[in-house]
Chain A
């Protein structure tokens, strides 16, 4: 076997192209390897000698931007090698989401622009107000404002379309990174890793270097856990409501001591707390170590997610009052926007990350590249 050295980059040739720049830095890391124990990116680097575009995309999506490798690096600026691996991989990652999203142009807009995100939200509100005003309802609880049929007619496509879109993107991703057949064991390994956010713990449980420079903290891991589990609880709450509705013929509204509420209320609280925490951490973190030019879109996404949780909680708190109508429109508007933007916002990262972990589990076991 001969090595394709034409893929190798000159370590001093800093590039504006995200793929080229990430390749340059990854090659330097592969000659150094000091950061091996921080996360799964470095062992994945060490399995290769040269890096094709698909390898870079996979590495970029394995990276969690914990920044441990930046503060530990002896080659950061002003050194001429100008290592900033967290940023190089973040740029390649954001670029991959924009390239792989369908349609890609939407991702390019919503990853970068907070204003676009806010505009989409306002449109979501308006649509729901309009729907509530225009469509005759006639049910109990929330269905007194917007009938069950109308709700399904709006939200079923709004839920399915993003899923289809993401599935298409992930298929392209899998092809680009050269993923092989997926085994159950790989899925399990990925789920375990993602569920504990293993890679955010710094390799030894000391945490990451997100907001306190060289100091390790578990801050980001904790708020990210809150967001993820909060979101999943909310999702489970909606799911359990659907089951109650269709399987047990028990439609909303639900009391507090029912699954939808027992899952949804703590979920909403976790989500809101997590989002507030994340916004605060991001304010302290150095933007020069994150993706270039995506701060706006990424911050707006956290606000949106937090707002979904908050408006849901408010809606529950205000049940039975005159505020229910407007709050319902606002909450459903936010949920609608959130769903529709999933493939084009930071939300997509969860799907890519999980897919990257599955591929990594396969590669570790020596099955794929």
Chain B
């Protein structure tokens, strides 16, 4: 790509920090007004696109069918869904603005190269609310990079931003490490879109506690919060709980980073889940899995060693999507305990007690069947069927972190705020400011909506500022 020294010799209209969905939307909007735009992406080209590479859809308000979306999903319903998952931890004005703008985003995305497909097999329930990307998020990111390239945007990969130079409430330059060398990129406006800090395990451990060292990170290893920390150190205003992260229960054998979507496990409702001492700790059948998988991240995180084991028998193996890792299988519970490194006697006792608590009744895997245990603590309130038919199967579970909640505070023009109020020329978009809207919980597909809406606004505003 272009020689960094040459890049450092010019004054850029807009420097965009990060190379995921939010960054690209900002860069495209700014470049379309004729601004000279530089993208500094910390990852190498093969890993460009941050967590956006791993996504599959975005949530979109619409009246009547729109692209792949059917029927209507209006602002009230969307906002109610958000209120429910965040338990009110949201900035209503910002959230409503984001929701109502999402409808314009879909045609804009299509016009800039993104293709959609009908909702994926097994996700039919989302075909009204979430528009799926053909080929997933990596294809979306590729389309945006091509569009940006055609618009004359310059992209520098392996460009780790270390510091934003700020004087009198104005960004003056961006310090970036490319190769072993530090460069100063001079900028008239800056858009910050470099994601959360979840890939910095030390930070995660300081925020959450030492146990976070055992968490797996579902997305990119490049979102280490370097720019966020630099901004906070300079007094930028923040939102979101600095100690919290969104974590789901994923296959314990997943890679430390970047395992993405395939590491999910759908067996929990049909299983019993024990900790490494062989004890059950929560109602596995509380609700259907899509409504419960997010709480299991925290549940497992609270267990010793931050690990859980989901155990089923042969009658349940075909009831859910097989995980990408084959199950550990055995003909007896003792043997399974041996393979999973669990105390065999305790596991046998737990399963025997559970089985004894199961009652006769009709088992319906597709709906809440009310088949609950009796006299077992904790109870299993649906799909409680004895674990009795060999072979037996086990999967290990670990918390998989999706993102962190801490972010920069922005106004409804995506402008970030410093100690003296709004900065003159710094905007932020995407995961980096999402805490304003998603203060807690998560609404599937909303991360990409926030990135697209605020990325586009940030790009337009930054370009207008330098015009």
Q: What is the interface of chain A, defined by CB distance below 8 A to chain B?
A: 1-3, 5-6, 8-11, 27-28, 30-38, 43, 46, 49-50, 68-69, 71-81, 203-204, 206, 214-215
Q: How far apart are the CA atoms of A43 and B326 in the complex, in Å?
A: 22
Q: How far apart are the CA atoms of A199 and B44 in the complex, in Å?
A: 32
Chain B interface, number of residues (Cβ within 8 angstroms): 41
Instruction: Chain B residues near A37: list those with CB within 8 A.
Output: 115, 117-118, 134-135
A72, B318: Cβ atoms closer than 8 Å: no
A33, B121: Cβ atoms closer than 8 Å: yes
A33, B137: Cβ atoms closer than 8 Å: no
A74, B138: Cβ atoms closer than 8 Å: yes
| Minimum distance in angstroms from A76 CB to a CB of chain B | 7
- The answer to the question of B422 belonging to the interface, with a C-beta cut-off of 8 Å to chain A, is no
A32, B146: Cβ atoms closer than 8 Å: no
Residues facing A in B123-172 (CB within 8 A) are: 133-139, 142-143, 145-146
A-B contacts, CB under 8 A, total: 112
Partner of A36 from B121, B261, B324, B393 at Cβ < 8 Å = B121
Which has the most chain B C-beta neighbours within 10 Å: A71, A72, A214?
A72
- The answer to the question of B325 belonging to the interface, with a C-beta cut-off of 8 Å to chain A, is yes
- The answer to the question of B260 belonging to the interface, with a C-beta cut-off of 8 Å to chain A, is yes
| Minimum distance in angstroms from A235 CB to a CB of chain B | 36
B324, A3: Cβ atoms closer than 8 Å: no
- The answer to the question of B361 belonging to the interface, with a C-beta cut-off of 8 Å to chain A, is no
- Given A3-B317, A74-B138, A33 and B120 contact (CB-CB distance below 8 Å): yes
Q: How far apart are the CA atoms of A36 and B134 in the complex, in Å?
A: 8
| Minimum distance in angstroms from A15 CB to a CB of chain B | 14
Q: How far apart are the CA atoms of A23 and B333 in the complex, in Å?
A: 30
B255, A80: Cβ atoms closer than 8 Å: yes
| Minimum distance in angstroms from B185 CB to a CB of chain A | 26
Instruction: Chain A residues near B136: list those with CB within 8 A.
Output: 32, 34-35, 72, 74
Q: How far apart are the CA atoms of A6 and B134 in the complex, in Å?
A: 32
Instruction: Chain B residues near A3: list those with CB within 8 A.
Output: 317-318, 322
Instruction: Chain B residues near A203: list those with CB within 8 A.
Output: 117, 134
Instruction: Chain A residues near B321: list those with CB within 8 A.
Output: 30-31, 49
Task: Find the B residue at minimum CB distance from A75.
Answer: B260
B327, A5: Cβ atoms closer than 8 Å: yes
Subset of 5 A-B contacts with CB under 8 Å = A10-B326, A32-B261, A38-B135, A74-B258, A77-B46
| Minimum distance in angstroms from B87 CB to a CB of chain A | 31
| Minimum distance in angstroms from A362 CB to a CB of chain B | 19
B54, A214: Cβ atoms closer than 8 Å: no
Instruction: Chain A residues near B53: list those with CB within 8 A.
Output: 74
- The answer to the question of B329 belonging to the interface, with a C-beta cut-off of 8 Å to chain A, is yes
Instruction: Chain B residues near A34: list those with CB within 8 A.
Output: 56, 120, 133, 135-139, 261
- Given A5-B322, A33-B121, A49-B322, A214 and B329 contact (CB-CB distance below 8 Å): no
Task: Find the A residue at minimum CB distance from B313.
Answer: A2
Residues facing A in B283-331 (CB within 8 A) are: 314-315, 317-318, 321-327, 329
Task: Find the B residue at minimum CB distance from A29.
Answer: B262
Partner of A69 from B56, B117, B121, B135 at Cβ < 8 Å = B135
Q: How far apart are the CA atoms of A37 and B56 in the complex, in Å?
A: 12
Besides the known contacts A35-B136, A50-B322, 11 further A-B residue pairs in the complex with CB atoms under 8 A apart: A2-B317, A2-B318, A27-B322, A31-B262, A31-B264, A34-B56, A35-B134, A38-B134, A46-B122, A203-B117, A214-B145
